[in-house]
Amino acid sequence: MAQRSQTLRTLLSADQISARVGELADQVADVYAGQEIALVPILLGSVIFVADLIRRLPLDMAIHMCGLSSYRGRATRPGELSWTLPPPDDLAGRHVLVVDDILDTGATLERVVRAIGGQQPASLRSCVLLARRGARVEPDFFGFRIGDGFVVGYGLDYGDRFRNLPYIAVIEP
């Protein structure tokens, strides 16, 4: 259960998220119309986002997961990236969409794109729910631009807590 000592400020409501995920699904469907895609969600934070997104995509798709972690325990700053689940190795010639919860510094997305890009996919794009201003890479699709606060909910966690919130909140200092 969430610790009561944390103060959360709602940043994005469940309704706002739902509406934007629908818009993202429409954008992705337009780009990939008539093509089969391989979605590669980055675990663990993207699980709720990708579940909602794929239910709204009218496309043939395969889902392959990968995992990278840079936040350990109750860290609020990213540390060293390490694979928790390597990317699939059968993406050559396929249209690949990497899906993540948040584009923070860009290091995670860069590493996944580099690993998949080496397989020579037919196309390689990225979709993130949240994109920080000033990240060193730009996603092809994003839901919301956000500032610097540490965010939780809708799959995002702090010390393995708050992932189950149906909205996105900022942890207040």
Q: Give me the pLDDT at residue 123, please.
A: 98
> So which residues are the catalytic ones?
104
Q: Where are the domains of the chain?
A: 21-146
- Is residue 132 within 8 A of residue 147, CB to CB? The reply is yes
Condensed to tens digits (0 to 9), the pLDDT of residues 124-160 reads 999 999 999 888 899 999 999 999 999 999 999 998 8
Question: What does the pLDDT average to over 55-79?
Answer: 81
Q: Give me the pLDDT at residue 6, please.
A: 80
User: What gap in Å lies between CA 94 and CA 97, rounded to an integer?
Assistant: 10
Q: Give me the pLDDT at residue 3, please.
A: 46
Give the residue from 104, 40, 113, 114 showing the smallest Cα distance to 71: 104
CATH topology (fold) of 21-146? Rossmann fold (3.40.50)
Mean pLDDT of the chain: 92
- Is residue 126 within 8 A of residue 109, CB to CB? The reply is yes
Condensed to tens digits (0 to 9), the pLDDT of residues 26-44 reads 999 999 999 999 999 999 9
**CA distance readout (Å), 1 to 6, 44, 131, 158:** 12, 18, 27, 12
Condensed to tens digits (0 to 9), the pLDDT of residues 116-134 reads 999 999 999 999 999 998 8
Question: What does the pLDDT average to over 82-109?
Answer: 94
Is pLDDT at 2 greater than 60 in this prediction?
A: no
User: Please, which residues have CB within 8 angstroms of residue 95's CB and are 6 or more apart in sequence?
Assistant: 32, 35, 36, 37, 38, 121, 122, 123
pTM for the predicted model, two decimal places: 0.90
